[in-house]
Amino acid sequence: MYPYQRNRRVRNSKAIRNLIRETHLSVDDLMMPVFVMEGEGLKEEIPSMPGYYRYSLDELEKEIQTAADLGINAVNVYVKVPEELKDNAGTEALNPNGLMQRAIKRIKEVTPEMLVFTDVALDPYSSYGHDGVVEDGEIINDKTVDILAQISLSHAEAGADFIAPSDMMDGRILAIRELLEENNFKHVGIMSYTAKYASSFYGPFRDALDSAPGFGDKKTYQMDFANTNEALKEADMDMLEGADILMVKPGLPYLDVLYRLKEYTRMPMAVYQVSGEYAMLKAAAEKGWLDHDSCMMESMMSYKRAGADIINTYFAKDVARILKGL
């Protein structure tokens, strides 16, 4: 009790603060999302994500090399699909020579050690911008799941290390796992978007991939942001179905969900610091209202404190630079 317990004694110097620190962040915790597009020599800035770009495959090589040089071990690949290749069933996603499949091969050629996670979802390929097949204005679950499993197999064949389904259809982890096992891709893992909420923080990402839903919203498949028990139910299913890593998305507004899922499952947990979170900090920093780097590092530590093992973040390179003292 006061004055014998003075909490400030362990805050008095950097050295003592370092000694008693509970949570640590390293470059090993980072995963970098990359946006890929067709073309050559292209590096296009996404207007709502200042400092973040879409790359053609040749430019992507340099970006991946830079990430590897900074010690980043994992990337998460997203593709921007030309409008004329989109249809309701996302047929182009199965093209063995499609943009995603070529991107996977390219990354593995340049940096064989880099772990490649791939986004599996219909929306970048869908003429409706939805994560599933649309019939009479509805998103059809089981048909979509069959396609998602086929897409996953195609990514595995191209050399993906982990499949990362971001769609929120029911039963997709099992379908993907079974198809991978049947085809002898036993070593290919699944990072499930376990608790992905129907969030407005995805706006800038949809600009980046031109994937905004053409009608309605995603509330019949993505989770209601008022709920957390449902996230535990999703986690139960994902674990039984064979997921290796669980993800919560978005990040900062959902730290309670992250914490609960880590406590409940003890599984490797990933968090996705989404495009809207990135955009908010960039905008405030541009205005001089917030300090970019310190707020960024504080958010990283918050994810770790809440239970994240992996942070999928658009700040990955910036964070890695700071950790390296560059």
Q: Which residues bind ligand PBG (CB under 6 A)?
A: 119, 121, 123, 131, 166-167, 202, 205-206, 218, 274-275
Q: How far is the CB of 266 from ligand PBG (least distance, A)?
A: 26
Token pair 């990135």 is at which residue?
A: 278
Closest CA to 258 of 288, 289, 235: 235
Q: Which of 80, 86, 218, 249 is catalytic?
A: 249
Nearer to ligand PBG among residue 110 and residue 203 (C-beta) = 203
- Contact at 8 Å (CB) between 106 and 60? yes
Environment class of 143 (CB within 10 Å of its CB; exposed 0-12, middle 13-18, buried 19+) = middle
Least separation in angstroms between residue 202's CB and ligand PBG is: 4
Contact 230, 224 (CB under 8 A): yes
Q: How far is the CB of 124 from ligand PBG (least distance, A)?
A: 7
For the bound state, the minimum distance from the C-beta of residue 7 to ligand PBG, rounded and expressed in Å, comes to: 38
Rounded to whole angstroms, the Cα distance separating 116 from 305 reads 26
Residue among 254, 287, 295, 293 at smallest CA distance from 273:
254
CA distance to 32, 35, 113, 136, 216, per residue, from 67 (Å):
8, 14, 12, 44, 37
Catalytic, 249? Answer yes
CB of 126 to ligand PBG, least distance (A): 10
- Using the minimum distance from each CB to ligand PBG, give the nearer residue, 185 or 197: 197
- In the bound state with ligand PBG, the residue whose beta carbon lies nearer, of 123 and 234, is 123
CB 84 within 8 Å of CB 39: no
Which residue, 65 or 171, is less far from ligand PBG as judged by CB?
Answer: 171
Cα distance between residue 31 and residue 294, in whole Å: 19
Tokens of 19: 């000694």
**Nearest CB to ligand PBG, comparing residues 2 and 215:** 215
Write down the least CB distance from residue 316 to ligand PBG, Å: 13
Please confirm, yes or no, whether 282 is among the known catalytic residues. Answer: no
Query: Coil, strand, or helix at residue 34?
Result: strand
| The pair of three-digit structure tokens given for residue 165, joined into one six-digit string | 């389904």
Pairing mode of beta strands 133-135, 189-196: unpaired
Nearer to ligand PBG, 183 or 200 (CB): 200
Given the residues 86, 196, 282, 317, the one annotated as active site: 196
Q: How far is CA 73 from CA 64, 68, 115, 304, 325, in A?
A: 10, 7, 6, 17, 18
Active site residues: 196, 249
